[in-house]
Amino acid sequence: MKALEQKIVTEGNVLSDSVIKVDSFLNHQIDPLLMKQIGQEFADRFSDTKITKVLTLESSGIAPATMTGLILGVPVVFAKKRKPITLAEHFSTEVYSFTKKEMNNITIAKEFLKPDDNILLIDDFLANGQAVSGMVDIIKQAGASLAGVGIVIEKGFQHGGKILRQEGIRVESLAII
Ligand code: 5GP
């Protein structure tokens, strides 16, 4: 996606040999116009399948996921990294955070994922695939179907994309660096 690639080149900062910082449009400040284009692109790429819900992980997946849900006209659910006391019946799984270097027990309320759901997973980055694998695990627990995974920035030099594709999961990345 040209507009995204341009943005990464002009505003992205390489922090180390494996981490890129794009805080000016995706991970801290958000560029709403770019997010809208991203949502449209995901909606177009998955137009061949009937998505019932978009799923992401808080917090940086929420903006692109919401724009995708808006264009597809379906609800957006985000997995929580800390279990609030208000959460009753829920699915959960362990996810290792690439950027925070810690384990998170991610949770989703059972009422928002049903066996007849066909889920589009969205996330901001794909590195080793831990976040996506955790959400795929929750989709399995719910007995729902996975239509595919939409990633804003895939780091092609790490192995998440290869592993997920080898598992037969459809992964659409808007920029691969
Ligand atoms: P994975 O679970 O695929 O190893 O890593 C993906 C998650 O880690 C994403 O949800 C994203 O928040 C974070 N992440 C991975 N690599 C980067 C990176 O280079 N920059 C930023 N800002 N976040 C990253």
Q: What is the mean pLDDT of each run of 10 residues along the chain (177 residues)?
A: 97 96 98 98 98 97 98 98 87 93 94 98 98 98 98 98 98 98
Return the H-helix or E-strand segment holding 32: helix 32-45
Phi/psi of residue 95, each to 5°? -130, 130
Mutate to test the pocket of ligand 1, among 59, 60, 99 (most ligand atoms within 8 A of CB): 99
What's residue 84's pLDDT?
Answer: 81
pLDDT digits 0-9 by tens, 69-93: 999 999 999 999 988 888 889 999 9
Output the pLDDT for position 88.
85
Judge contact between 153 and 177, C-beta under 8 A: yes
pLDDT of residue 24: 98
Residues with CB under 6 A from ligand 1: 19-21, 27, 57, 60, 98-99, 123-131, 160
Distance in Å, CA 23 to ligand 1 centroid: 12
Atom 16, ligand 1: residue with shortest CA distance: 127
pLDDT at residue number 156:
97
